[in-house]
Structure 1
Amino acid sequence: MEKETQQDQNDQEQLEQDKKEQPLTFTSKVVTIGVVGGVFWSLIGYLTYLFKFTKVPPSLILSPWALGEWKNEQLGQWIGILAIGLVSILVAFLYKVTLVKINNMLAGIGYGLVLWVIVFYLLNPMFPELPSIMKLDKNTMITTLCLYLLYGVFIGYSISFEYHENQRDSTSYSNK
């Protein structure tokens, strides 16, 4: 009886060892890419704000909704970074819907440029603390444009890479 119990335990341990983790779905990967991209690049943006390369802080995203001066302090910056991470999920899904099949860095660069134009031109009236393009200094324009281009490349290339890897894996699996 003891040998059977010990054998059952060994078999169960063997089975648990053989189990493979289920890979993330493509949608889960898009969400992860969006959050990581938003948080990472807004952290870089916060550093550029701290070092006076730009006058646009991450807390700018809070300006249409949050009242008070707290949003301009450090707590507001961290909440702004998290908010950008959440909004970035939508940005990642928009890329997935529109440009996912283009496995090219240029698509990401173009996507970042379009996002910059949307934020700094189209949504400018929504952000009362964001000066118009004509009133922004050269360092702020160049720094924010570079950040948006790099963010677009990160989102675009990561999502396209995952899409093409899934396509490759599904075709190689069906050929077996």
Structure 2
Amino acid sequence: MSGKRKELEQNKQEESMTLLGRSLLTGFIGGLFWSSLGVFLHLFNFTEISPSSFVLRSWVRAGWTDGWLGDVVSILIIGGLSVLVALIYYALLKKNRSILVGLLYGLVLWAIVYYVFQPMFPNIPNVTELDRNTIVTTICLFILYGIFIGYSISYDYHDTVIKENKAKQEEEEEAK
């Protein structure tokens, strides 16, 4: 019986690691998808700011950053940064089931990027200088990103907890 317990504890540890891994993968994919959508929205003039403006053009003054290669590199970099965003959500908010938490997380991220980090991006105008379409579009994009990250990680966490509880119940029934 102690062998089964060790096996259950080992499975629990493996499941926790895979839960974290899945959360980080969710962050990476979310960063790729939503920054790609940001590039698309910039190309069709929904926003005057491209993700490339933040990530590359603020520090790299090469001609290739204005083209498709700059957009692709920016999308990949944002995907990597999004892993950190997902890790923060995982550490602090994974137990919340509400979609509202993801929405608020997206709004907080928008505020951090456009207010706190804005001085780091010299070629990005202040929020007060942006047009209404850019502000609304970027807020909506960040809200959707926050909901994607938040709901995906929370759902995965609660699904894992349910599976673990079910496995414990089955083990207890077998022990009786």
TM range (shorter): 0.7 to 0.9
1:96 aligns with 2:90: yes
Equivalent-residue separation in structure 2 for 1:63 and 1:102 (angstroms): 37
- 2:173 match: none
Decide whether the 8 Å contact of 1:53 with 1:143 is kept in 2.
yes
Q: Which runs of 4+ in 1 moved over 6 A?
A: none
Decide whether the 8 Å contact of 1:63 with 1:128 is kept in 2.
no
The one-letter code sitting in structure 2 at the alignment partner of 1:96 is Y
Equivalent-residue separation in structure 2 for 1:145 and 1:69 (angstroms): 29
5+ residue gaps, structure 1, are 1-21
Decide whether the 8 Å contact of 1:46 with 1:77 is kept in 2.
yes
Equivalent-residue separation in structure 2 for 1:141 and 1:154 (angstroms): 20
Q: Of the candidates 41, 45, 49, which is equivalent to residue 52 of structure 1?
A: 45
- CA RMSD of superposed structures (Å): 1.4
1:111 aligns with 2:105: yes
- 1:43 match: 36
The one-letter code sitting in structure 2 at the alignment partner of 1:94 is I
Q: Of the candidates 115, 121, 125, which is equivalent to residue 127 of structure 1?
A: 121
Equivalent-residue separation in structure 2 for 1:77 and 1:161 (angstroms): 31
Equivalent-residue separation in structure 2 for 1:67 and 1:167 (angstroms): 48
Deviations 1:48-87 (A, max 9, x none): 0000000111212123432323212211111001111000
Greater shift, 79-88 or 62-71, is seen at 62-71
Q: Of the candidates 138, 141, 150, which is equivalent to residue 147 of structure 1?
A: 141
- 2:6 match: none
Deviations 1:3-46 (A, max 9, x none): xxxxxxxxxxxxxxxxxxx9781111011101110000011111
The one-letter code sitting in structure 1 at the alignment partner of 2:144 is L
Percentage identity across paired residues of the two chains: 43
Decide whether the 8 Å contact of 2:34 with 2:145 is kept in 1.
yes
Equivalent-residue separation in structure 2 for 1:82 and 1:74 (angstroms): 12
Q: TM-score normalized by structure 1?
A: 0.84
Q: Of the candidates 80, 86, 95, which is equivalent to residue 86 of structure 1?
A: 80
- Say which SS state the counterpart of residue 47 (structure 2) adopts: coil
Equivalent-residue separation in structure 1 for 2:69 and 2:93 (angstroms): 35
5+ residue gaps, structure 2, are 1-13, 171-176
Equivalent-residue separation in structure 2 for 1:67 and 1:77 (angstroms): 14
1:137 aligns with 2:131: yes
Equivalent-residue separation in structure 1 for 2:89 and 2:63 (angstroms): 34
- Say which SS state the counterpart of residue 175 (structure 1) adopts: helix
